[in-house]
Structure 1
Amino acid sequence: MTSRLLAILLSTLLTLPAFATQSTSADSLLKLHQMRLAAQRSLGDFYMYNGMEGDQRYARMIDESVQQADARLKELGEMPGEASKALSAQLTREWQNYHGELSGLVTALKQAGFTDLQPVADLTDRNKRLMELCNELYAKIQQEGAAQVPPLTQRSREQSLLMQTIAVDYASRSASVGGSFMGGSGGKAIDELASDFATQLASMEQAPQNTPEIRQALDGISTKWRYIEKSLKNYNEKSVPFLINKYSDRIIDGLEDVSARYSAAQS
């Protein structure tokens, strides 16, 4: 074997661990994103369950969201560094606390038909802390794992989270449980969040990297968005929580499909 071939072989072997770490980190980032979406959605499901007077459909949706969040959390790969490991452990504890509080409130609703406002406010605060931890870990994995999420993939994920935030906030107001959900919204009103979503969606549609398939998918998302946009921008008028809940789920599904397509195109 020549010295040149030996050098190439050694260089390849040395870079394999880095590629493996980046691949594991990228997968963990996807699982973590899916976990925070499901965890956030579980709070919206609870608000719907509360506002719809114990409709068992939403009790089942709470269970589905919780199971999905729990599964994605457990699927996180090996953390790339000490800080991310510590944050992951903290996130697991916070999730267990949130899950326990949520289960207690669901049981109270089933048995008594109502809940006190303070435990609901506490649950909302717990969910907010959970989202903050998710976001902190998401950033730390990228930092320690040297695995940056491609820009368009990140934009579509952020758009999914924004849609979920809008849906949860709307469900909170419709359920009249006191105080709106502010997870990541910076205290903005629903109409402001809706304007942000519309602006960012239009920007995504103009991305030069969009393939015909992605453009078609974004067009489908835009059609669904236009169906609920007016209700969101006039949220203080007629309340339509079922409609917002239904279409936000479909929009998020569409955005996650677009995100996966961006990832495939940019990998």
Structure 2
Amino acid sequence: MSSRLLAISLSLVLTTLLPLGAHAANSATDSDNLLKLHQLRLAAQKSLGDFYMYNSMDGDQRYARQIEESVHDADARLAELTEMPGDGSKAMRAQLEQQLTAYESELKNLTTAMKTQGFTELQPVADLATRNQQLMALSSELYAKIQQESGQVVPPMTQQSREQSLLMQAIAVDYASRSASVGGTFIGSAAGDEKTIEDLVSQFAGQLNTLEKSPQNTAQIRDSLNGINTKWRYIEKSLKNYNENSVPFVVSKYSDSIIDGLEGVSAQYLAAKL
């Protein structure tokens, strides 16, 4: 082959490969954005639970630090959401930034009030819970929009395990809110719907059972899910009987551990494209 023909052939190969490389890079970015957005949702949801714990534990500073850590994590994940795949997701990301800023401002005001006054008024706390629900709903819409505009769909088992983490977080926040009732008034469900905590507990148990029975699970994933199940069984009764013996510290501690475990399982599913 002449030098000229060789050069033309190489040029054609490179021209073919470049779009493929660009597509692969975009897919990786979209997949990473979806993970970061999921982590943002967990952090934002957890910050509300941290506040309820701070309230119910009479301003215990460990929960003040946890609030700061959750807020920092949410901000960091938002900063990492860079290249959106389309105009719709770009607009939603801008809205999400505004919502998160407003939510964090309200959270800071209430944390300061708790620190300086030793108590918080009911209405601002209810408003904070509503703002958190709106933030979660918007981030869920953005999560769907990124997949729609990019064509990058989260693998089913990965998605199921992520949803399980969010459900565990919602249960923990709901439980903590009952312990932090302001003026004897229950704040409301973190799930943002009409489901009772009993419904959420039953849903979590059923979905965990489904995950455990998946034939796609590796030995390592089965071991991880077994450990998660053991921790879940430890707090399940307390969650169902929340009016009899409130143990918010135990539920908070174990739910954090369960979520960490689920996120580890989710990462394994994602790596295997399951």
TM-score of the aligned structures, taking structure 2 as reference length: 0.93
Encode CA deviations 1:139-158: one digit per residue, 9 max, x unaligned. Answer: 01111112111111000000
Displacement of 1:100 = 0.4
Encode CA deviations 1:77-102: one digit per residue, 9 max, x unaligned. Answer: 21110000000000001000000000
**Residue 265 of structure 1 pairs with residue 272 of structure 2:** yes
The CA distance in 2 between the partners of 1:151 and 1:98, in whole Å, is 31
* Residue pair 1:108, 1:115 contacting (<8 A) in 2 also: yes
**Residue 228 of structure 1 pairs with residue 235 of structure 2:** yes
Which residue is equivalent to 1:199?
206
Q: Which runs of 5+ in 1 are unaligned?
A: none
The CA distance in 2 between the partners of 1:183 and 1:192, in whole Å, is 13
Q: 1:12 is matched with which residue: 2, 17, 29?
A: 17
Encode CA deviations 1:19-78: one digit per residue, 9 max, x unaligned. Answer: 221111100110110011000000000000001111111111111111111111111121
SS at structure 2 position matched to 1:266: coil
Which residue is equivalent to 2:218?
211
SS at structure 1 position matched to 2:272: helix
The CA distance in 2 between the partners of 1:11 and 1:66, in whole Å, is 44
Percent identity over the alignment?
62
Displacement of 1:185 = 5.1
**Residue 170 of structure 1 pairs with residue 175 of structure 2:** yes
The CA distance in 2 between the partners of 1:200 and 1:75, in whole Å, is 30
Displacement of 1:17 = 2.2
Q: Rg bigger for which structure?
A: 2
Which residue is equivalent to 2:63?
58
- Alpha carbon RMSD of aligned pairs, Å? 1.6
**Residue 147 of structure 1 pairs with residue 157 of structure 2:** no
Displacement of 1:9 = 4.2
The CA distance in 2 between the partners of 1:8 and 1:234, in whole Å, is 66
Q: Which runs of 5+ in 2 are unaligned?
A: none
**Residue 243 of structure 1 pairs with residue 265 of structure 2:** no
TM-score of the aligned structures, taking structure 1 as reference length: 0.96
* Residue pair 2:133, 2:192 contacting (<8 A) in 1 also: no
Q: What is the number of residues matched between the two proteins?
A: 267
* Residue pair 1:40, 1:164 contacting (<8 A) in 2 also: yes
